[in-house]
Amino acid sequence: TTRLIIDTDTAGDDCFSLLLGLLHPKAKLEAVTICNGNVDFDQQVENALHTIEVTGRGGEVPVYLGSARPLMGRWQAASFHGSNGMSERQFEPAKQRPESKHAIDAIIDLVMANPGEISIIAQAPLTNIALAFLKEPKIAKALKHLWIMGGTDHAFGNITPMAEFNFFVDPEAAKIVLGAGFNITLSTWTLTLKSGSFDAATVDAIEKLDTPLSRFYMQVTETPRRVAFERYGETISTHPDSLTCAMAIDESLILESAAVVVDVEVGGDLSRGHSSVYPARLVERWPDRDANARIVRTADTKGFANMMMSVLA
């Protein structure tokens, strides 16, 4: 069993990562922590609580509120998932309420009480993870595994040409986290486009499941599917966050990966938030640089789709 904390700016695909964490038999979701990112902070909290409730498990997983703003960046909503992050669908307010403990303390307490046991899926800007590390640096070694959805493998971003959204919103936090000594796997936007997107046939198959969760899927992904079509000229449903969670639950979904030296550009007019990725085996002439992450280059799209379908069914 993989014991998970999911740190999320809940909107769009963030929801399906939560569903995998909540419902997959090999996962145990211990906590959900909310970070600034996709849409208005309070809206993200409601989206997370609603997603938990949709599974019928309302009240079973605590939700903690984290940083409502990035360290230094200017926060701006992503338009990708609609203004409420849920393709404009309105849902009844959830009955569960968030905990009063701050997300940063929740992360520290859970990780330090269970050394080597807990993994984090970081699928939002890295503000909460950076602040938790700054408050208690021992979490870097006590955490089993930090799965980061962020950055690109080479420049083709989704918010600027050179940057992916999560790293762009809080590059300083990303830089702190990547340099902190965690056991990191990086799941990039480049990987999302290559291996983490469902084609029209898969989306059809999900619609045909015709379960409450498949209907929830069709509703929440409506705007992102339309935006993806406008941008990329194909019917695809992109799953950056849920692919990351799926790989954490079942590492055999990782088909190709490499040890890399990765850092984040915090300056630069055009390059702020850009992830610099270099193969660890070529790094000997770069002083004081060592491998600090494993990057995933190819994942098993079919296996991932099967996992998602089994959970939505």
Q: Which residues contact 61 (CB under 8 A, 6 or more apart)?
A: 22, 29, 30, 31, 32, 52
DSSP class of 50: H
> Which x/- pattern, by CB under 5 A, does the window 7-26 give for Ca ion?
--x----x------------
C-alpha to C-alpha distance for 212 and 220, rounded to whole angstroms: 12
Is residue 14 near ligand BDR by the rule CB under 6 A? yes
- HSE (CB half, 13 Å, CA atoms) of 258? 14
Is residue 123 near Ca ion by the rule CB under 5 A? yes
C-alpha to C-alpha distance for 180 and 141, rounded to whole angstroms: 9
DSSP class of 116: T
Q: Which is nearer to ligand BDR, 9 or 30 (CB)?
A: 9
Is residue 166 near ligand BDR by the rule CB under 6 A? yes
> Which x/- pattern, by CB under 6 A, does the window 245-284 give for ligand BDR?
----------------------------------------
8 A C-beta contact, residue 269 and residue 310: no
Give the bridge partners for 260, in sequence order.
279, 293
Stretch that binds ligand BDR, among 10-18, 28-36, 100-108, 131-139 (CB under 6 A): 10-18
Is residue 153 near ligand BDR by the rule CB under 6 A? no
> Which x/- pattern, by CB under 5 A, does the window 216-255 give for Ca ion?
-------------------------x--------------
Angle at alpha carbon of residue 66, lines to 179 and 158, rounded to 5°: 60
Angle at alpha carbon of residue 162, lines to 157 and 165, rounded to 5°: 50
Among 71, 122, 126, 149, binds ligand BDR (CB under 6 A): 149
Structure tokens given for 108: 């520290």
Q: In this structure, which amino acid lies at residue 155? A: A
Is residue 87 near ligand BDR by the rule CB under 6 A? no
Which parts of 176-235 interact with ligand BDR (CB under 6 A)?
Answer: 189
The distance of closest approach from Cβ of residue 288 to ligand BDR in the complex, given in angstroms and rounded to an integer, is: 29
The distance of closest approach from Cβ of residue 100 to ligand BDR in the complex, given in angstroms and rounded to an integer, is: 26
Where do contacts with ligand BDR occur on this chain (CB under 6 A)? 9, 12-14, 38, 78, 80, 123, 149, 158, 164-166, 189, 240-241
